[in-house]
Homo-oligomer: A and B are copies of this chain.
Amino acid sequence: MKLLEERIAKDGKVLGNEILKVDSFLNHQIDPSMMKAMGKEFAKLFAEDGITRILTIEASGIAVAMMTALEMNLPMVFAKKSKSRNIGDDVFSAPVHSFTYDRDYIITVSRDYLSENDRVLLIDDFLANGEALRGLISLCSQAGATIGGIGICVEKGFQRGGKQIREMGYHVESLAIVDAMDENGITFREQ
């Protein structure tokens, strides 16, 4: 998505070879026009996938999932993060490892909002090692829901998550894939 690539090139901050900060428009401060454009793009990319529900993970997935839900006129659910393993039996839960913070947490979704009748579109702001996505996939699997697609704003193509998740056979769409980056610039994958 050209608009997003141009915005990342203009406003993204590269720290070392691994950290890309886009908190001026994507995951701390939010630019509503950029979010709207991304929601429209996901709605177009997944229009033929029979989606019934959108699932994301708090906190930075919520804004773009909200805009996608608005464009597709579908309910959106956000999985909650918890540090406690003391989880009630009214939820589906899955462990997720965060490489950024080097810690584990548990994500949960109420059993009321995910079922075997759902065909789910997973949405998240970033895809790096794919840990959060694997947690969301596990929640869907526990619910008996099928996954109709996976939509990512920014994929770090030099990390393993995107390749692994695509090899699992899912319809994955990343609006921008960063193949390399350093202080001199960012190389996006041709799509």
Contact = CB atoms under 8 A, between A and B. Distances in A.
When all copies of this chain in the complex are counted, the total is 2
Interface string A7-35: 00000000000000001100011111101
A35 B66 contact: yes
Contacts of A67: 66, 70
Interface string A96-119: 000000000000011011000000
Contact of A32 (B62, B66, B110): B66
A1 interface: no
A176 interface: no
A23 to B, nearest CB: 7
Nearest to A30: B76
Tell me the dominant secondary structure on chain A's binding face: mixed
A68 B64 CA distance: 14
Nearest to A23: B110
A74 interface: yes
Interface residues of A, number: 29
A29 B113 contact: yes
A59 B30 contact: no
A70 B77 CA distance: 20
A179 interface: no
A70 B70 CA distance: 11
B29 A76 contact: yes
Given A28-B110, A31-B75, 12 more contacts: A28-B109, A29-B77, A29-B112, A30-B66, A30-B75, A32-B66, A33-B73, A36-B70, A59-B59, A59-B78, A62-B63, A67-B70
